[in-house]
Chains A and B, each alone.
Chain A
Amino acid sequence: MLLQELLRDYLPIAILLFVATGMAFAMVALGHLFGPRRDGKAKLMPYESGMTPIGSAVRRMPVRYYLIAVLFVLFDIEVIFLLPWAVVLRKLGLFGLIEMLVFVTILLVGYIYVWKKGALEWE
């Protein structure tokens, strides 16, 4: 019974995943098969609008991007918590609403803190 539901729900998705993967690989393979390859030293240089590249392209990125990623993780967790609550809200009634408002309010404080600290500014 349980296994059948599993098969009905997730097996088709797995098959779509395989088909899509197969197609993506096939497209790249066809390109390799039909495309010519005439490499040259200047040709394979990184493209910098025709200039000879200065320095390595692999450089450290600004820490601000990391901060954005951290904030994203935290708020994403909030969204995930909201989802199952949203599904049952109609059945929960007032109590469930208040619980979630407390949760959101606490996180709102954090959001205001982040804003005031200037973490959302992007110079």
Chain B
Amino acid sequence: MSPVIGIVIEAIIKSALMVFVLATAFAYLTLAERKIAAFVQVRKGPNRVGPWGLMQPAADGIKLLFKEEMVPAGADKVLFFLAPILTMIPAMVIMAVVPIGPDVELFGRSIRLGISDLNVGMLYILSVASVAVYGIVLAGWSSANKYSLLGGLRASAQMISYEIALGLSIIGPIILAGTMSLQGIITAQQQSTWYVLWQPVGALVFFLAGLAEVNRAPFDMPEAEQELTAGYFTEYSGMKFSLFFMGEYIKMVAVCAIATTLFLGGYLGPYVEQLPWLGILYFTIKTTALLFLMIWIRLTLPRLRYDQLMAFGWKVLLPLALANVVVTATATVLLG
């Protein structure tokens, strides 16, 4: 039984670390976004709490903790309570199969830097992503509010529409690597090169579909402040609100981390074979660069109209992704 206990203890430690790191990443991502937005708009941004506003996320967290939690009259109380939790869980769990570094030696045993590595890793990511729709549909439905319902419907229709393009865009790397395991895809990139060079279209489709999947600008129609107040979380306040916020930002991190793994070589970089711990650094740098790109896009591009958004998903991204699959497959078979 002792190997089982070893697995359990290792998994508990890694899970706790993962949750902690993602929560911290969320906190500082909000600060980074506000700082970058301030820089772009030539103002200072948060600068009162701590040096450069570095304690701002903590202050926000404490503030939200002491805010009143409201449950609107006519709401479905159970679902209203469950919806933010159901948004948060997939955002955390999707990262389970992403390796953030090569295996390292620690305390005399080989430790995988990642929760697990499944032979169906990419399918696991798709499956967790597809479950993420529930929190949003239920939030919209249970709030008994017109804005929420409309926002929830829009968000869910948008997410499922872009999920197909997302699913098709990951097939390119899978064909090239010949495996669905994320570790396997990184190993394959070690032997050839970063897949963004072989799969520029696939990478682009993945990134755009990922943006839509996490409802980020320019695909943030479901939360359009000007017409839907806050969309599906209009009625939420306090910690439940912050769970939605957290879910959204952690999903951003997850999309960037997965994009890094699939197209940017994951943790690969110079000297990573000699110093495995360096992998975490490379992985973090690449993921952060993509996150910066996401924030930059939000600050630069206006929001798409809803009909344009649906048309873009179904009529542009889907055929593009499908063509990419066909071209990649044909090239792989014919050229070897």
Contact = CB atoms under 8 A, between A and B. Distances in A.
A and B touch in the complex (CB under 8 A): yes
Contact of B88 (A4, A20, A32, A93): A20
Contacts of A47: 72, 145, 147, 229, 234-235
B242 A27 contact: yes
Interface string A76-119: 10011011001111111110110011001000100100010000
Contacts of A49: 229
A36 B68 CA distance: 5
Interface string B66-93: 1111111110000001001100110011
A5 to B, nearest CB: 10
B144 A16 contact: no
B164 interface: yes
A1 interface: no
* B interface residue count range (under 10 / 10 to 19 / 20 to 34 / 35 or more): 35 or more
B68 A35 contact: yes
The interface residues of chain B, by DSSP majority, are classed as helix
Nearest to A112: B319
Contact of B68 (A9, A19, A38, A111): A38
Contacts of B16: 19
Contacts of A86: 171, 174-175, 325, 329
Contacts of A34: 65-66
B24 interface: no
Contacts of A91: 178
Given A9-B117, A47-B145, A123-B307, A28 B81 contact: yes
Contact of A57 (B116, B146, B160, B174): B146
A23 to B, nearest CB: 5
A121 B135 CA distance: 27
Nearest to A107: B322
A32 B32 CA distance: 29
Given A15-B15, A31-B240, A45 B72 contact: yes
Given A47-B147, A90-B175, A10 B122 contact: no
A106 to B, nearest CB: 13
B85 A31 contact: no
Contacts of A89: 175, 178, 329, 332-333
Interface string B1-29: 00110011011101110110001000000
9 contacts: A16-B96, A24-B243, A32-B69, A39-B70, A45-B73, A46-B72, A58-B149, A65-B157, A71-B314
Given A10-B118, A61-B153, A111-B318, 5 more contacts: A19-B18, A31-B64, A59-B146, A82-B325, A88-B178
